Amino acid sequence: MNAIKLFLLLYVLSLSSNLSAQTSPYIYHLLIGTYAVEGKPNGIHVYRFNAKSGEYDAAQPVTELLNASYLAISRDRKNVYAVSEGGGGSVNAYAFNPESGALTFMNSVPAQGPCYVSVDNKKKVVFTGNYGGGSIVSVHLNKDGSFVEENVQTLQHKGSSIVKGRQDKPHVHSVVLSLDDRYLLVPDLGTDKVYQYRIDAMQEKALAAADVPFLPVHPGGGPRHLTFHPNGKYAYLVLELEGAVMALDYRDGKLAAKQTVSMAPPDFKGQVSGADIHVSPDGKFLYASNRGDANEIAIFSIDKQGRLASKGRQSVFGKTPRNFVIDPTGNFLLVANQNTNEVIIFKRDKTTGQLTPTGKKIEADKPVCLKFVAVGQ
């Protein structure tokens, strides 16, 4: 084969490879939200991740944002919303290119010590949970996904609970939409309640208290993050202070508790600190991260009634697994170890739910939020 033919062949193969990367169902953007590091640019990192092989590479330079501790992606993949815990705090709207992974800042609105953000499926409203302020912010969106800055609703929680220094006042820790977008579920670590709000995106004030305004949890539990089962009938709540997971029934904006299980083994003597929680795409397993002295992922099976059974624990090989994510195919689970500056990649057994270290990790300063977005238009 002469040099010209060889060049043409390699060129065609290159085009074919690039096209495959753009259209493969296994190729995703991985967005990493981070805390600030003095003297270094930090904010939102964008990688390209292969959910078949576990390989990755950087897709974009870092989009700088102070303490970009939580992210939300619009269903159409054209916008990213990021909280910034810097100063008084803000929530920020970005345009997102799902092919290249590029982020373009649009606008922002003030918040009160924000730690969580979510957006409804029709991209009408964004909700922010304010840990510092103990409140919720609801803000409407323009058609391009930017904020309607003059249309902001703030709901202030009141109350406290029994753990001094952690529960002296309200601390909203997440704002989670029901799968049908009709209700917002709001775990408040400071008051030991999960508030239940009705959503009407057509109203100027999108949120109103549901008929049953909240679900109380065990005093000192410290509700943090909540996630739904794919069938929408069950929800699961991680209790940060107790280091436990609650299994809940859900119907029409109302949660009902049915089970609480510890994330730690019975003989564990160290500090517990529950953080993040996710259900596998097939609905068969639940995972929850435990920080403190444990630094591991607790693994549970889910039966047909939504109840949990412990299936073991997996060390995260680092410190402070604040957040983790399961890729949409269910093949891998990635853990953001905040205090050891790395994202650890585990292979997930879909039959047993067990996690196996791949030996791969992404180095990033203070990673605290992981989100997957499908590549391509």
pLDDT at site 24:
75
- Please give the domain boundaries of the chain with CATH numbers for all domains: 75-365 (2.130.10.10)
C-alpha 309/C-alpha 303 separation (Å) is 8
Contact present, 305 and 259 (Cβ < 8 Å):
no
C-alpha 369/C-alpha 46 separation (Å) is 12
Residue 119 sits at φ, ψ, to 5 deg, of -135, 140
What does the pLDDT profile of the chain (377 residues) look like in tens digits? Answer: 455 444 434 333 343 344 344 457 899 999 999 999 988 889 999 999 999 999 999 999 999 999 999 999 999 999 999 999 977 899 999 999 999 999 999 999 999 999 999 999 999 999 999 999 999 999 999 999 999 999 999 999 999 999 999 999 999 999 999 999 999 999 999 999 999 999 999 999 999 999 999 999 999 999 999 999 999 999 999 999 999 999 999 999 999 999 999 999 999 999 999 999 999 999 999 999 999 999 999 999 999 999 999 999 999 999 999 999 999 999 999 999 999 999 999 999 999 999 999 999 999 999 999 999 999 86
Order of strands, edge to edge, in the sheet holding 223-228? 223-228, 234-239, 244-251, 254-262
pLDDT at site 157:
98
CA atoms within 13 A on the CB side of 339: 10
pLDDT at site 2:
53
User: For every residue of the chain, which 3-state class applies, written as one string?
Assistant: CCHHHHHHHHHHHHHHHHHHHHHCCCEEEEEEEECCECCECCEEEEEEEECCCCCEEEEEEEEECCCCCEEEECCCCCEEEEEECCCCCEEEEEEECCCCCCEEEEEEEECCCEEEEEECCCCCEEEEEECCCCEEEEEEECCCCCEEEEEEEEEECCCCCCCCCCCCCCCECCCEECCCCCEEEEEECCCCEEEEEEECCCCCCCEEEEEEEEEECCCCCCEEEEEECCCCCEEEEEECCCCEEEEEEEECCEEEEEEEEECCCCCCCCCCCEEEEEECCCCCEEEEEECCCCCEEEEEEECCCCCEEEEEEEECCCCCEEEEEECCCCCEEEEEEHHHCEEEEEEECCCCCCEEEEEEEEECCCEEEEEEEECCC
C-alpha 268/C-alpha 286 separation (Å) is 21
Give every CB contact of residue 121 below 8 A, 6+ residues apart in sequence: 75, 177, 181
pLDDT at site 38:
87
Measured in whole angstroms, the distance separating CA 260 from the mean position of its chain's CA atoms is 22
